[in-house]
A = this chain, B = another copy of it.
Amino acid sequence: MADNDWTPPPVLLAVDLVIFTLRDAVLHVLLVERGVDPFRGALALPGGFLEHDREGVLAAARRELQEEANLDASQLHLEQLGAYGAPDRDPRGRVVSVAYLAIAPGLPEPLAGSDAARASWTPVPDVLAGRAKLAFDHRDILDDGLERARSKLESSALATAFCANTFTINELQRVYEAVWGVELDPRNFYRKVQATNDFIVPLGNERRAGRGRPARLFKAGNQTTLYPPLVRPN
């Protein structure tokens, strides 16, 4: 912190959100179509500026989550990714953005709510393959968010944030497979997640899904760190 009376240049502060969910066993990210220049018509991460100078950065992230995605931050996993402050990242002027990573369970309906009209779930593989171009440096932010999610699946119980209140072990496995982009052995996965103390807790009832043996239902346990970790292949 500078110790003199010189006044530093103000910058505009924004928050951007990387919101992941799983839809049909594919990882999706919420993107909005921009209605104004720059990058009019391009896709961008949802986000916005701080509303007033008493609003905390985390509070702004929660507000945008509600406004742009109609999601309740208190029900979701939300963590900071970092600040993006390259001087030329926004052609309009000096904007520094603090990015957040949010994880939502798969939702039956795409989205509802006023501001969320332009928002849509986009398959992450489409973005990675370059089939969906992002505005500003949002591709970098998305890459960082994806890497954060991938690495936190290894050592934390983050995967349960992708699931509904109750889920089967197979559903949990699909989370790992979609985020990591790999296939896992269901038999080894089955034992590994159950061996980790209080990662998932059985509910006693089962779910019949057409054919095959019914799967036991689980809910998320209280454990936040996974020991031993589930290490991704490669």
- List which A39-84 residues lie within 8 A (CB) of chain B: 44-45, 47-59, 80, 82-83
A85 at the B interface (CB under 8 A): yes
Q: In the complex, which of the residues A1, A12, A96 has the most CB atoms of chain B within 10 Å of its own CB atom?
A: A1
A136-B1 Cα distance, complex, nearest whole Å: 10
A85-B34 Cα distance, complex, nearest whole Å: 26
**Which residues from B are CB-within-8-Å of A54?**
87, 94
Asked if B80 and A57 sit within 8 Å, CB to CB, the answer is no
Copies in the complex: 2
The interface size bin for chain A is: 35 or more
Query: B-facing mask of A1-44, CB < 8 A → 1, else 0?
Result: 11110001111111010000000000000000011100000001
Asked if A2 and B49 sit within 8 Å, CB to CB, the answer is yes
Asked if A36 and B85 sit within 8 Å, CB to CB, the answer is no
A159 at the B interface (CB under 8 A): no
Least CB distance from A148 to B in Å reads 11
A86 at the B interface (CB under 8 A): yes
Asked if A85 and B11 sit within 8 Å, CB to CB, the answer is no
Would you mind naming 23 contact pairs between A and B with Cβ atoms under 8 Å apart? A1-B44, A1-B49, A1-B135, A1-B136, A2-B47, A4-B36, A8-B12, A8-B14, A8-B49, A8-B50, A10-B10, A10-B12, A10-B53, A13-B85, A55-B87, A56-B85, A56-B86, A57-B85, A80-B82, A80-B83, A82-B82, A83-B83, A96-B98
